[in-house]
Structure formats: C-alpha cells, structure tokens
Structure 1
Amino acid sequence: MKKQFDLTSEIPLPGLESFYDEFLATRIDELGETKRALIAKNYQIVAEYAHKWKGFSAPYGFGVLGQIALEIEKCLEVDEIKRCEILLNEAETYLTVTKKKGDF
C-alpha cells in the first residue's frame, strides 16, 4: 500500500515563492544524479541528497519531497535498495508531474 504524505507543507513560505521554479529545476537535476548514484551503488551520494532534501524542502513548498527523502534515508539504513528505487521514482513523479504545475 502506498504511503499517504502530508500535503500541508506544499505552499512556499512567504518570501520564497519567487524561488519555486529554480528550486524545482535544481531538484530535478539532483534527482537524476541521485538515480545514477543508486544504479552505481554509490549509496553515500544517495544519502547526502536525501538528507539535503529532507532538511529544506518544506519551506519552499516541497514538503512531500522532504517526506520521501526521510523514507529514503530509512531504507538506506536497512539496505532496502529496491525500496529506495521505488521512492526515487515517486520523487520523480512528484517533481515532474505534480509540482511542475506550480499550483500553490
């Protein structure tokens, strides 16, 4: 069963709205790097990006990305690499479909 994420942090904090498009584009680029790192079994890079996303995504209106990143960190801790791949695919859909609309 797919986990339901809290959508209350999907609106940028006041003053951060103008950074939305740049934030999105950067995360999409990083997602590509993260997926390549996972394929190369460079789990340290995957962990670094997940930790970064977890820490600052919500203020920019990307709270679900932060929640997915937390799940990725947990999966890396217990060596659930296939689950990490699934979560990165969820992040890709979230960034390229859901957030691409810019509805906030």
Structure 2
Amino acid sequence: MKLQRVRMLGTASAVAAAVALPVMAAAPASATQGACANYVRSHGYLVGPKVNAACSHGALFSGVIKVPNAACILGLTRAGVNKGEVVQSACMRA
C-alpha cells in the first residue's frame, strides 16, 4: 500500500512538472510576441504564421534604449504589412 502511494505521488509530481515547466518558460516570450501580433491585427492585417514568426524576434534593449529587431521588421514587411509605422511599433512590442 505504501509503495503504491509513493508511485502515485511520483507520477503526479512528474505530470505537474511536465505541464508547469513549458508554461513558465514560454510566458514572457509569448506575451511579447502576442502584443506584436495583436498590434498588427488591430491595424487590419491578417495574422498568420509569417506574422507570428516575425514577431518572435524580440526588440533589442541596449540598457539605454529599446530598438526594433531588424529580423522582425523584415519579416513583417515580407508578410505584407506595408505601413512603416505599424511595422516599427509592432516590432517594438515584440
């Protein structure tokens, strides 16, 4: 009986860790990627894999200023986001 409880506890712990770890690790990155994609969407563009991939390139912070990532700008432009201010602002949110 005691061995069965230990096994159940071990299994439950492993499942909890398997579920919680990816969520904790992905939360900051997906939040900023989501902000970028939502900004693009709010300006009338369809958001699909290309926009999401572009928004996955986070803004760069030098310690003094934050600048949009060139890979994000290029990716959004290639995805068909034409307005420069939308691209710049979206990539600042990434």
TM-score normalized by the length of structure 1: 0.27
Q: Which has the higher contact order (CA 8 A, sep 6+)?
A: 1
TM-score, normalised by the number of residues in structure 2? 0.29
Larger radius of gyration: 2
Instruction: Name the structure with the higher strand share.
Output: 2
